Chain A
Amino acid sequence: MNVRTVLFVLLAVVLWGCKTTQEVEGDVAVEDQGIPAGEAAEAYAAGQEGRAGVSPLDDPNSPLAVRVIYFEFDSSEILPEYRKTVEAHAAYLAANSNVIVTLEGHADERGSREYNLALGERRSQSVQRQMSLLGASPGQIRTVSYGEERPAVNGHDESAWSRNRRVEILY
């Protein structure tokens, strides 16, 4: 599947999702009496059948629930197994232009600290680039690198290192 086909499919899914959303919005207005009249409810595009009243960000079954992307050693390439995750977040951002996400880039501890700071940034920019290609607007995405300074796992072997080479998606 080439990029254009992917985009077309995504667009179709998003548009279809929008139709579904209008129905969901109606349900939300009926069930949630707490919202005062005149206050705009948040429109959630689920890109799939959304359950009434549940934000896709809180849905544990949604691909949006995946908030960490892992990388190979010395690489900033997004592995195939994370494409779906990136797509889902990009779609969410594309449909919710007021939402801002921070991509935090990290590296494992090996080698020099400053070079690892740059590696972490390269990883977060890699995810940022993919998301932009998939419809998120640049203003919605912030990137920051912590290099090796914020390990997720303390340890000095590949099992720890592989879990520290990551980008965290933070809403």
Chain B
Amino acid sequence: MPRKNPFPILALLASLLAAGPAAAIEIIIDRGVKDPIPVAIVPFGWSQASSLPPMDLAAVITNDLARSGRFAAMDEPDLPQRPADFQDINFRDWRLLGMENLVIGRLNLTDTGDYVVDFRLVDVYKERQIAGFRIPTSEEQLRRTAHEISDIIYEKLIGVRGAFATRIVYITVNEKKDGTKKYTLQIADADGYNPQILLESTEPLLSPSWSPDGRKLAYVSFEGKNSAVYIQDILTGKREKIASNPGINSAPAWSPDGNSLALTLSKDGNPEIYILNLASRQFRRLTQSEAIDTEPAWANDGRTLAFTSDRGGGPQIYEVSVNGGQPRRLSFSGAYNARPRYSPDGRYLAVVNGEGGAYRIALLEWETGRMTVLTTSRLDESPSFAPNGHMIIYTTTGARGTALAAISTDGTVQQRLALQEGEVREPAWGPFLSR
């Protein structure tokens, strides 16, 4: 397929070879829960006495848990002792400090150059192990292993699987000295580390959407001087333009079974929702109205879609069967509701709710219509749920442009995600990686 502007492809190839020198995102916790769970993570034992360990697993785990806003992690200098094995734990020391939970472990280098991580989560008061795992891993995977350990600790102490070993994608915008803009689509670990540029362009990018297997992204690019939808393989960088009709081609949303893509096309006169069968490449139109119908989102069972429509006057949330038919309105609170996303448990839709000149992230309990506004800033957009449903990452706009932030679904935990240069927007939280 001839490409009018080779630049994005060249840049993409360049960035794949160079392993992405992108700026890291730093996550800052602005507010945590009132009663965080005390936990102490002891630096892991390391099998090679003569050298430093390749990664400080305990530090990564400590950061994960502290950043979640739900844990009070002990500072390393305050640790009364550094046991690596259960029998070396002096429980009285820890009880005196009120440390209910202790994480200890060992990192071992194997003969083949790989690694094995042993860790234990210990209940200090009961003097008993809550969980213990042995995880074989490799040097490149060490950081991910640390996140997996954080996930297990989170699950054991809070009751819900952690989402630390996941990835996010987002769009960055930088204004160059000549006034032109550079847009990138980037992927990073959920803690902001290891950012990589997947695509660079001089034209706007928006609406990244993950495939359910976490291997592909769909997104909108204006590189062809109009909006068009592309699908890109994350690992290989191979991309394909799948919709570039006259008018709008946008808002791609992958179905839960990975076989279809819902999207917005205005080629037939005004923006409507279509479903593209990825195998047959056939488009099927889902909505029929003179109004704007856009921003489709799939329910977890793949049988209904929520979307934004202004058929009632202003934008509100509707749902429609995947087989088409009469849509049903879901939102009745606020003059403006748009950009729905289902929570992992299916009970809520995160939306952009506009009221009194402020646009905030809100949770719509779609069965009852109850709307709970979560954020307090005034220009928020693009909410995306973590796969465990506990946090929502979103875009907030301040004096210096757009930035990412995250809030827990009960509103108690608030994070800021700081990028050193430029603006960040349009985050999408990836699925759980297979265990």
Q: Using A114-B250, A115-B339 as known contacts, say yes or no to A109 and B397 having CB atoms under 8 A apart.
A: yes
Contact B381 A119 (CB under 8 A): no
| B248 beta carbon closer than 8 Å to chain A | yes
Contact A149 B222 (CB under 8 A): yes
CB-CB contacts of A140-158 with B at 8 A, as 1s and 0s?
0001111001100010100
**Chain B residues whose C-beta falls within 8 Å of the C-beta of A74 in the assembled complex:** 314
- How many contacts between A and B, using CB within 8 angstroms? 79
Chain A: minimal CB distance from B37 (Å): 36
Chain A: minimal CB distance from B295 (Å): 5
Contact A111 B222 (CB under 8 A): no
Contact A146 B266 (CB under 8 A): no
Contact A111 B336 (CB under 8 A): yes
Chain B: minimal CB distance from A164 (Å): 13
Number of interface residues of B (CB under 8 A): 36
**Chain B residues whose C-beta falls within 8 Å of the C-beta of A143 in the assembled complex:** 247
Report the nearest B residue to A73, measured CB to CB. Answer: B357
**Chain B residues whose C-beta falls within 8 Å of the C-beta of A154 in the assembled complex:** 401
CA distance A118 to B251 in the complex (A): 11
| B354 beta carbon closer than 8 Å to chain A | yes
| A166 beta carbon closer than 8 Å to chain B | no
Most buried by B among A110, A121, A150: A110
Q: Using A109-B397, A110-B379, A149-B204 as known contacts, say yes or no to A115 and B266 having CB atoms under 8 A apart.
A: no
CA distance A11 to B352 in the complex (A): 48
Chain A: minimal CB distance from B428 (Å): 13
| B264 beta carbon closer than 8 Å to chain A | yes
Q: Using A115-B292, A149-B222 as known contacts, say yes or no to A156 and B338 having CB atoms under 8 A apart.
A: no
| A163 beta carbon closer than 8 Å to chain B | no
Most buried by A among B314, B381, B382: B381
| A112 beta carbon closer than 8 Å to chain B | yes
**Chain A residues whose C-beta falls within 8 Å of the C-beta of B382 in the assembled complex:** 112-113
5 A/B residue pairs, CB under 8 Å, sorted by A: A113-B382, A114-B295, A114-B308, A121-B247, A145-B227
10 nearest CB pairs, A to B: A112-B339, A149-B204, A112-B338, A118-B292, A118-B271, A114-B251, A114-B295, A115-B338, A112-B352, A114-B294
- List chain A positions with a Cβ less than 8 A from chain B: 74, 109-115, 117-119, 121-122, 143-146, 149-150, 154, 156
